Amino acid sequence: MSARRHQADIAETELDMTPMLDIVFIMLIFFIVTTSFVKESGIEVNPPAAESTEKQDNATIFVGIEASGSVWIDKREVDVRTVRAIIARLHASNPEGAVVVQADEKTPTGDLMAVMDQVRLAGVKNIAVAASSP
């Protein structure tokens, strides 16, 4: 008799998965909220070499400038006059992040200064120019 009762008890016990699923869902939400997304420029440039290069850890927005002067943000070619509005919108989502300007070594200085000027006018204080190690 005790063997039948023991088998009946085993058959009736169920494992409630609801609390575990709740915890997993909350952890998923936590990781999504705390993740910072990086906005890449979308082009490959050949940056100039510099011996004083430092790694920028909090860079979240990348602006690429080709040798021809075309500006790229978030894998789209944009006009220099719209850089300020785009950077202001992207910077509002992560005010602690920095903007890195990735200019080709053959980019005219005037084009680089125009883009950096627009980034500063967008309210970004932390701007860096990408360079490669020699």
Render pLDDT for 3-17 as a digit per residue (tens, 0 to 9): 555 665 565 677 788
Say which CATH topology domain 59-129 has. Nucleotidyltransferase; domain 5 (3.30.420)
Q: Is the pLDDT at 125 greater than 60, yes or no?
A: yes
Would the pTM count as exceeding 0.75? no
Q: Where are the domains of the chain?
A: 2-34, 59-129
Cα–chain center distance at 4 = 61
Structure-token pair, residue 36:
């910072």
Distance CA 22, CA 40 (A): 34
Please name the residues in contact with 126: beta carbons below 8 A apart, sequence gap of 6 or more.
58, 97, 98, 99
Classify strands 71-73 and 59-65 as parallel, antiparallel or unpaired.
antiparallel
Render pLDDT for 33-75 as a digit per residue (tens, 0 to 9): 877 666 667 777 777 777 777 777 777 888 999 999 899 998 8
Q: Quick one: average pLDDT of 108-126? A: 92
The total number of residues written for the chain in this structure: 134
pLDDT in the model for residue 25: 92
Classify strands 71-73 and 127-129 as parallel, antiparallel or unpaired.
unpaired
